[in-house]
Structure 1
Amino acid sequence: MERCIFFLVLLLMGREGSCQDEEICSKTAINSCGDCISSGRYCVWCKQPDFTQQGEQDAARCDTRSQLETKGCRPDQIISPVSNVSVVEDAPLSESFSQRGSVQLSPQEINLKLRPGLPTTFTVRFKRVEGFPVDLYYLMDLSNSMKDDLQNVKNLGQNLFKALNDITPHAKIGFGAFVDKTVLPFTNTNKDKLQWPCEERDQYCQKAFGYRHVVSITSDSEKFKNEVEKQNISGNLDSPEGSLDAMMQAAVCVNEIGWRNSSTRLIVLTTDDAFHMAGDGKLAGILEPNDEECHLVNGLYEKSNEMDYPSVGQLATQLERNNIQPIFAVTKEMEKVYTELSKMIPKSVVGVLSDNSDNVVELIKDAYNSLSSKVILKHDDLPKGVKVTYTPICPHPGPPGDTTGVCEKVGVAKEISFDVTVTADSCMEKPSIFYISPQGIEDKLKVTISTHCDCDCNDRPDTTGCNGNGRLTCGTCSCDGGWVGQKCECAIGDKDESAMKAPCRKNGSLTECEGRGDCQCGRCLCHHLEQGGSSYHGAHCECDDEHCEKFQNRLCGGNGKCGCGICSCNEGWEGSACHCAKSDADCRTPGTTSVCSGRGQCECGRCKCDSGYQPPFCIECDSCDDYCVTNKDCIECLAYDNGPLKKTCADSCTSVEHREVTEFTLTKRCKQKDSKNCWMFYSIEQLDSENGTARYRAEVKPIETRECPVLPNFALIILGAVVGVAVIGLFILVLAKVLITLNDRREFKKFVNESRNVKWAEDANPMFVKATITTENPMFTGGDGE
C-alpha cells in the first residue's frame, strides 16, 4: 500500500517537485483581460463590474477560477477561453492501393487555435494500404572480398523480383555499387593499380571507383539481370569502405535513382566491412565537408575525391527527409558495427548475410516485414514554444517517448491511431505550420497552429457603469477622450487639483495613498504588491492580503484567510497566525486520555511540559537519571531474583511494572551494576502519577545479556610469563652471538684489505750499513811475480 501511494505521489509531482495539478496564476504586468489570458493556463478573468474593492487595481480580476469564485465573482462572469480544433480535410482511409492515390493517414489537414499553456489533444488514424508500391535499391560493396557474393547476386535477380511481388504487385528494383575514394591511403593510386586494383590476374577486375549507379528503379527484371551481370569486382587498400558516400548519393539523387513519389523506399546495403565517416577524408587531405547534394555524372559520383564522407547525422537526416528505410545486410563479423549504426538511423534494420550472400532474398523479406510492421509517427520542425507528444492506441505500443509515437506488430490493412497532444507555451504573433507523418510514408498531416490570447466578453453597450463617460469592456472602463479614473469619473483639466487630492491623504498625512498608490480624481488607485500577486486596497491603500503572520512558512498557518493584514481563522483554529487548534486531542498521551501525561499544559495543540520533561507528551525526562538509580534494586529482584530487596521484593516494588524484552522501546535507557558487580541493561519511563505516587514501567533484557566480571586464569598467566621469559632470554643470546660474529667478520675483512694495500719500500733503510772489509797485500804488485 505504501509503495502504491509513493508512485501515486510521483505521478502527481511535476519536474520541479510541485504538484502538476496545482492551479497557479502568475499575475505580472496585468492591465487587461488579454494580458491575463496570456499569462498562464490557469489564469481567468472576472468581468463582473462590481468585483474589485475600493482602490484595488483591475489586475485583481485575474486569478485562478477557484480564487475568483472565493472572492465573490459569479461563475457566469468568468472569462476563460478554450482551445479549438477544426478539421479542414479528412478523406477516409483507403482499403487498397490505387493509381489515382491512396490515403493511409487521416485527417490530412487541421487548424488549432490554442490557449497558451493548455494542452490540446486530437486523434490521428493510420492504416497501411494493401499492395502499396515498393522501391528497392540494391547497393552492393564490390571490393575484392565480395566476389563470391556478387556471383550469387547475379543469379538472384529473378528471385528478388519474385520476393517483392509476393509483397506487392507494384514492386520495382534498382542497383548500385561502391568501393571507396580513389586516393591514398584508401586506394593504391599507382596508375596500373587504379586500372587493375585486384591481386589476382586470372579474373576480370574493373578499375577503382567510389560509387556507381548502375540500374535505375525498374520493374523490368531482365534489364536488372543483364546490367548486374556486367558488374565485376574492384578493390581498394584499407578495410573500411565508402558505404556512407554511396548511401548519401542514393538518397539525394531522387530523379537519377528513379524513386517514385508514392512508394515504400528501401535501400539494401550489402557489405562485409565497416564504413568511413566524416573526418576520415582528412587522411587524404580532403577538407571540404559533404554538402548533401547529388553529384552523379553518367552514373558516377564525380565529387568522391573532393568532398569528405558524410556524417551519420547527415545521412540519417537525408534518409528521413526522403522517406528511405535502409536494410543493412552484413556479415556476422560486422553485425555489431551496423547494429550500432542502426540505432542512430531511425526506421532501419540489420540482417546477417551467409558466407556467399545466398540468403539475401529471405533476409530482405524478413527485414521488410520488420520495417513495415513498425509504425513511427513523427513531426518536422516545430514553431518556437510549441511542444508535441504522442500516445499510441494499438495492441502493441512501443516504448513511451515525447517526440515520436510508436506502434509495433501492425499488420497490413490494420487501423491504428495516435492521440497527439499539442501545447503552445506563449502567444504567437501569426499562425505557423508544421507536418506530422509516419516515418517512411509519404502521407502527411498539415497542422496550422495559432493562439487564443484575446477575450470575447460579449459586452453589451453600457455607459452607466462608467458614469456615461466611457464604455464597459470585460468589467473595466475604457474612458472617452478627456476623462480618466476607474469609473471615468474625472475630467482632465479640473482646476481645484489640491482639493481633489485631499481625500487621498489619511488623517492629515502629507503622503498620498500611504505611498502605495496614485491619487486619481480624489480616489486612490493602489499599486501591485512587489511579488506581483494581489494589490493593495482600501480607501487609502492601507490594506493588503499578503502580509499576515505566517506559521511554518504558510500564510495564516494554512488555516485561515488574510484580510487587510489580519488572519481570519477557520473553524477550530485560533491564534494570531491561526496556528493553534482549539482541541487538546494532539496533547493526549498515546493510548490514554491523559493530557500531556499529567506533567504539563496543552497550549495551541502542543504540550508545554513541566521542568525537566520534554515534548511532545512530557514523557521523556532528560533530568531524570535518578530513575535508573532509585529503581535499580527493584529491577535486580524482579528480573534476576537477587539483591538487597530479594526477600521483600513483592512489597517494596509495587510501583514498578516489569517485563522481559530483547529490544527496548521505552525512552530512558539505563546501565547499572547489581549487587554482584554485574551490568544490568534496562529501559524505564515514568507513568502518569496517581494520587501523587510515581509509577514506572521497566523493560529488562534477558539474564544472559547481563555482563558479569570474569576472574583471571592465574595458572595461564604464570605459564605465559615463564615461557615469555625463556623465549626472550634465548632471543637475546642468539642476537648477541649474531652481533659478535658480524663484528669479527667485519674486523677480519678490514685487516685483509689493509694487508693488500701495503706498499713495501724499494730503497735501503738508511739506518742499515752493509759491512765492508778492505784487505791489501803489500807483497802483491799485480804482476806475474813469484
Structure 2
Amino acid sequence: MHQAMSLQILLVLLFAGYAYCQEECVKISVSTCDDCIKSGPGCVWCQDLNFTKPGELDTVRCDIKSELLKKGCPEAKLVYPLNDFKKNKDKPLSDGKDGQLLVQVQPQDITLELRPGKPFSFDLTFKRAQGYPVDLYYLMDLSYSMNDDLKNVKNLGKVLLEKLNDITGSARIGFGSFVDKTLLPFTDTNEEKLKKPCPPQELECEPAFGYKHVLSLTNDGQQFIKMVSRQRISGNLDTPEGSLDAIMQAITCEDEIGWGNSTRLLVLATDAGFHMAGDGKLAGILEPNQESCQLDRKKMYSKSNLWDYPSVGQIARKLEEKNIQPIFAVTEKVADVYRELSKLIPKSDVGVLSGDSNNVVKLIVDAYNKLSSNIIVTHDTLPEHVSVTYTSNCEGGHKPSDKGICNNVNIGKEVTFNVTVKASKCIDLKTFNIGPLGFNEKLTVRVQTRCKCECDNNSNKAAEHCNKQGSVVCGTCSCNQGFLGQRCECSVGHKDEAALKAQCRKDNGTECEGRGECECGVCKCHLTEGGNSYYGSHCECDDEHCEKYQNKLCGGNGECKCGKCQCKEGFEGTACQCKKSTDGCLTRSGSVCYGRGDCVCNQCVCKRGYKTPKCETCHTCPLPCQTSGNCIECLGFQKGPFQKNCSASCSHLQAKLEDKLLKKDCRVKDQEGCWMSFTMNELDGFDKYDVKILKDRECPEGPNVGAIVGGSLAAVALIGLLLLLLIKGIIYVNDLKEWKRFEKEQQRRQWAKSENPLFQKATTTVANPTFTGDS
C-alpha cells in the first residue's frame, strides 16, 4: 500500500514538472504575435485591443495562459496554435492471405503540424505476419583454415532452404566468399604465392582475392550446391581477414545480389577476426572506404587494394539503412570478438560454429527466430531541430528511449509503440521514416511547424484604435509610413523628443546601447554584422557574440541567446563545450562531489573552501568540536540543554556510543564538568558528521576518607618500624665493636708453657725390650 501511494505521489510530481515545463514561456525578443509563438511552447498571445496600458510595450501580451487570464485578457482573445495530426494512409494490418496486400505497420503515412517546443505523441502498431519472405546471403571466409568447413557448406543450400521455407513459406539463398587484400602485409605478394597461396600439399587452390560474389539470391537449392561446389580454398598471411570489406559489398551491391522486399539476413562464417578502418595504412592505402558497390565483370571487388577497410560505424549504419540483419557464425576462439561487434550493430546475433561447421543450419535458424521476434523500432536521419522518442506496451518498454524495443514477439502478435515527435524550432515541411529494423515497411512522417498566428483582426475598429494611421494585426497597430508608437500616435519629427529618447536609455546609458535608433520612445534595432537583428527593449541583446569553443559558437552544441549559450540537451559549460556527465565527479560513496560542489564539464566545482578534485577535504574547515558539545551530551548521555529536543536540534549528527576509540578527534567538557571524548567523520554535504562517542566520560572524583585514614595508619606503622630497625642497627653496631675489642685483648694475653703436675695423660707408654727398631 505504501509503495502504491509513493508511486502515485511520484506520478503527480512528474506530471506537475511536465506541466510546468509546458507552461514555460521565455520571452527574449517579442514584438509581434508570431515572435511570441516562436518563443516557447507555453507562450500565448493576447489579441485584445485594450490589453496594454498607454506606453506599455507589446511584450506584455506574450505570457503563459494563466498569467494573461489573471491580467484580464478574455479567453476568447487568446491566440496559441495547437499541434495537429493527420493520417494520410492508414491501411489495416494484414498477413497477406487471400490476395490481400501484406501490411505489418500501421499507419503508413502521417502529417504533423507542431508547435515549436511542444511534443506530440501517436501510436504505431506492428504485427508479425505469417509467411514473410526471407533472403539469406551466405558470406564465407575461404582462407585455408576453413578448408573442412567449405566441404560441409557445399551441401548446405538445400537443407537450409527447406528449414527456412518451413518457417516462412518463401526463402531464397545466395553465396559470396572473401579472404583479404592482396597486398603485404596481408598477403604474400610473391607471384607464385599469389597464384597459389595454399600449402604445397593442397592441390586445389584459389588465387589470392579480396571478395567475390558467387551466387545471387535464388530459391533453387541445387543451384546453390552446384555453384558452391566449384569453390576452392585460398589463403593469406596474417590472421585477421577482410570481413568488413566483404560485408560492405554484400550490403551495397543490392542489384547484383538481388535483395528483395523481405527479411534480409547476412550470414558471415569465419574462424578469424577482422581488419577495420586504418589497417589499410599498413599497405599504403590511404583512401577511406566510399561505401559503394565496386564489382568488376568477374564479380570481384575491384577496389580491394585501393580503398581502406570500412569502419564498424560505417557497417552498422549501412546495415540499418538497408534493413539487413547480420548473423556472425564464428568459431569459439573468436566468439568474444564478434559478441563485442554485435553490441555495436542493432539487430545482429552471434552463433558458435562447430569445428567443421556441421551445426550451421541449426545456428542460422535459431538466430533467425531470435532476430525476427525481437522488434526494434527506430527512425532514419531526422531533420534538423526534430527529435523522436519511443515507449512501448511491452515489458520494460515504458521508459522513453531513442528506440522502441519489444522482445519475444510471436507471429500474429500485435505490439504498440507510442512515438513522441518534437520540433525545437520553426521548420518547413520535412520528411523522415519510422519502422522496425529488418523490415522494409516504414511509416512516412511529414512534419512542419505552426509558427504563424491566426488572429481575428477587427478591421472595423482599426482606424479609430490606431488613430486612423494604421491597421490592427493581432491586437496591435501596424502603422502607416511616417507614424510610430503603440497606437500610431507619433509622427516623424515629434516635438517632445527629449522625453521619448529618455525611454530609450537603459540606466541613463547610451541611447539604444548604440545599436539602434530611438523612434517615438521605442528602440528600433540595427542589424548585426552577421545580418541578424539586435533585440531587447534597449537593443542590448544579440545572438552572435557568445563564447566559442574550437572556433564554433557555443561549441556547435547550443544556441547563442543574448550573449549567453543555451546548451542542447546533454551538453553544458559556458560554451557548451562539455557533454553532461558525472563520471568524473563520482566519489567512493557514490555521491557527486560529496554533495559539496557542482559537477561542471565532468569536474567538481567546490564550494566553501573544499578542495578539488572531489571536494573531499577542506583545509580551512576545522572540526566543530566545541559547538557540537551540547549535541554530544544529549545524543550520547541524554543530558544537557538539548535533551528535550535532541533529535531536532542535532539532526546533522549521526551518533553511536563506542567502548573504545582508536583516535580522539575532540575532547569537550559537559555541564557536569566531565570530559567527553569523540571522533567526527564528515558525511556527504555540508555540516553533517558521523560521530563515535566514548561511552565512559572522565569525571573529577571527591576525597576518599578510607584511603586517607588507611594511608595515615600505614604511615605511622611504617615510621615505627623504621625507628625499631634504626635502634636495632645501632645496638648491633655497638655489639660488633665490643666483640672485636675482646678478640684483640685475647690475642695480647701471655700464658705459662710448663706442664701442670696434677695433669694425668689419658694414655701410658711402655717400651718393649725385645724391639730392636728393625722393621
Q: 2:455 aligns with which of 423, 435, 457?
A: 457
Change (3 A) 1:227 1:72: same
Residue 144 of structure 1, CA deviation? 1.4
Q: In 2, Cα distance between the equivalents of 1:194 and 1:178?
A: 15
- 1:737 is matched with none
- 2:440 is matched with 442
Identity rate, percent: 48
Residue 707 of structure 1, CA deviation? 3.7
Q: In 2, Cα distance between the equivalents of 1:702 and 1:512?
A: 71
Give the TM-score, by structure 1 length: 0.64
Secondary structure at the aligned position of 1:193 is classed as helix
- 2:274 is matched with 275
Listed as ranges, the matches of 1:473-488 within 5 Å are 473-481=473-481, 483-488=483-488
Listed as ranges, the matches of 1:370-769 within 5 Å are 370-393=370-393, 395-398=394-397, 400=399, 402-428=401-427, 430-463=428-461, 464-481=464-481, 483-489=483-489, 497-498=494-495, 671=669, 679=674, 705-707=697-699
Q: How many residues end up aligned between the 2 structures? A: 557
- 1:131 is matched with 131
Change (3 A) 1:63 1:525: farther
Q: In 1, Cα distance between the equivalents of 2:695 and 2:30?
A: 76
- 1:264 is matched with 263
Secondary structure at the aligned position of 1:21 is classed as helix
Listed as ranges, the matches of 1:285-324 within 5 Å are 285-297=284-296, 298-324=298-324
Conserved in 1, the CA contact under 8 Å of 2:269 and 2:330? yes
Look up the equivalent residue of 1:216 and give its one-letter code: S
Post-superposition Cα deviations, 1:589-631, rounded to whole Å, max 9, x if no partner, equal xxxxxxxxxxxxxxxxxxxxxxxxxxxxxxxxx99x9x9xxxx
Q: In 2, Cα distance between the equivalents of 1:363 and 1:127?
A: 25
- 1:368 is matched with 368
Change (3 A) 1:657 1:303: closer
Q: In 2, Cα distance between the equivalents of 1:482 and 1:658?
A: 77
Q: In 1, Cα distance between the equivalents of 2:641 and 2:59?
A: 68
Change (3 A) 1:187 1:661: same
Look up the equivalent residue of 2:426 and give its one-letter code: C
Conserved in 2, the CA contact under 8 Å of 1:398 and 1:408? no
Secondary structure at the aligned position of 1:416 is classed as strand
Post-superposition Cα deviations, 1:504-561, rounded to whole Å, max 9, x if no partner, equal 59xxxx967998999xxxx985779x996999xxxxxxxxxxxxxxxxxxxxxxxxxx
Look up the equivalent residue of 1:446 and give its one-letter code: T
Conserved in 1, the CA contact under 8 Å of 2:377 and 2:435? yes
Residue 208 of structure 1, CA deviation? 2.0
Residue 139 of structure 1, CA deviation? 0.8
Q: In 1, Cα distance between the equivalents of 2:204 and 2:377?
A: 48
Change (3 A) 1:222 1:461: same
Residue 7 of structure 1, CA deviation? 12
Conserved in 2, the CA contact under 8 Å of 1:187 and 1:236? yes
- 1:43 is matched with 43
Change (3 A) 1:187 1:462: same
Residue 465 of structure 1, CA deviation? 2.6
- 1:121 is matched with 121
Look up the equivalent residue of 1:172 and give its one-letter code: R
Residue 203 of structure 1, CA deviation? 4.2
Look up the equivalent residue of 2:214 and give its one-letter code: V
Look up the equivalent residue of 1:294 and give its one-letter code: C
Q: In 1, Cα distance between the equivalents of 2:644 and 2:213?
A: 92
Q: In 2, Cα distance between the equivalents of 1:239 and 1:33?
A: 67
Conserved in 2, the CA contact under 8 Å of 1:12 and 1:21? no
Post-superposition Cα deviations, 1:372-418, rounded to whole Å, max 9, x if no partner, equal 1111111122221111111122x334585632211111111211121
Change (3 A) 1:169 1:659: closer
Q: In 2, Cα distance between the equivalents of 1:218 and 1:355?
A: 28
- 1:351 is matched with 351
Secondary structure at the aligned position of 1:301 is classed as coil
Change (3 A) 1:182 1:526: closer
Conserved in 1, the CA contact under 8 Å of 2:373 and 2:410? yes
Q: In 2, Cα distance between the equivalents of 1:31 and 1:78?
A: 16
Residue 29 of structure 1, CA deviation? 2.1
Q: In 1, Cα distance between the equivalents of 2:447 and 2:647?
A: 67
Q: In 2, Cα distance between the equivalents of 1:305 and 1:513?
A: 70
Secondary structure at the aligned position of 1:192 is classed as helix
Change (3 A) 1:22 1:532: farther
Instruction: Give the unaligned 5+ runs of structure 1.
Output: 536-621, 628-638, 640-655, 683-700, 712-786
Change (3 A) 1:18 1:707: farther
Q: In 2, Cα distance between the equivalents of 1:451 and 1:465?
A: 32
2:60 corresponds to 1:65: no
Residue 280 of structure 1, CA deviation? 1.4
Residue 39 of structure 1, CA deviation? 0.8
Residue 343 of structure 1, CA deviation? 1.1
Conserved in 2, the CA contact under 8 Å of 1:104 and 1:129? yes
Post-superposition Cα deviations, 1:440-488, rounded to whole Å, max 9, x if no partner, equal 2111222221111111112232224334443322211223455543233
Q: In 2, Cα distance between the equivalents of 1:107 and 1:663?
A: 61
- 1:767 is matched with none
Q: In 2, Cα distance between the equivalents of 1:66 and 1:19?
A: 12
- Tell which has more relative contact order, 1 or 2 (C-alpha 8 A, sep 6+): 1
Residue 657 of structure 1, CA deviation? 11
Change (3 A) 1:195 1:511: closer
Q: In 2, Cα distance between the equivalents of 1:310 and 1:488?
A: 66
Secondary structure at the aligned position of 2:21 is classed as coil
Secondary structure at the aligned position of 1:277 is classed as coil
Change (3 A) 1:306 1:399: farther
Change (3 A) 1:209 1:398: farther
Conserved in 1, the CA contact under 8 Å of 2:37 and 2:44? yes
Listed as ranges, the matches of 1:158-197 within 5 Å are 158-197=158-197
Post-superposition Cα deviations, 1:296-350, rounded to whole Å, max 9, x if no partner, equal 1212212222222111111112212211110001111111000011111121110
Secondary structure at the aligned position of 2:23 is classed as coil
Secondary structure at the aligned position of 1:402 is classed as coil
Q: In 1, Cα distance between the equivalents of 2:275 and 2:506?
A: 73
43-52 or 102-111, which deviates more = 102-111
Q: In 2, Cα distance between the equivalents of 1:409 and 1:176?
A: 31
Q: In 2, Cα distance between the equivalents of 1:532 and 1:156?
A: 74
Secondary structure at the aligned position of 1:355 is classed as coil
Secondary structure at the aligned position of 1:26 is classed as coil
Q: In 1, Cα distance between the equivalents of 2:126 and 2:477?
A: 52
CA RMSD in angstroms, aligned pairs only: 4.2
Q: In 2, Cα distance between the equivalents of 1:184 and 1:531?
A: 63
Look up the equivalent residue of 2:385 and give its one-letter code: G
Q: In 2, Cα distance between the equivalents of 1:61 and 1:195?
A: 82
Q: In 1, Cα distance between the equivalents of 2:142 and 2:695?
A: 88
Q: In 2, Cα distance between the equivalents of 1:471 and 1:36?
A: 20
Residue 274 of structure 1, CA deviation? 0.6
2:135 corresponds to 1:140: no
Q: In 2, Cα distance between the equivalents of 1:94 and 1:13?
A: 38
Conserved in 1, the CA contact under 8 Å of 2:81 and 2:115? yes
Change (3 A) 1:154 1:258: same
Conserved in 1, the CA contact under 8 Å of 2:96 and 2:103? no
Residue 421 of structure 1, CA deviation? 1.0
Look up the equivalent residue of 1:69 and give its one-letter code: L
Secondary structure at the aligned position of 1:296 is classed as coil
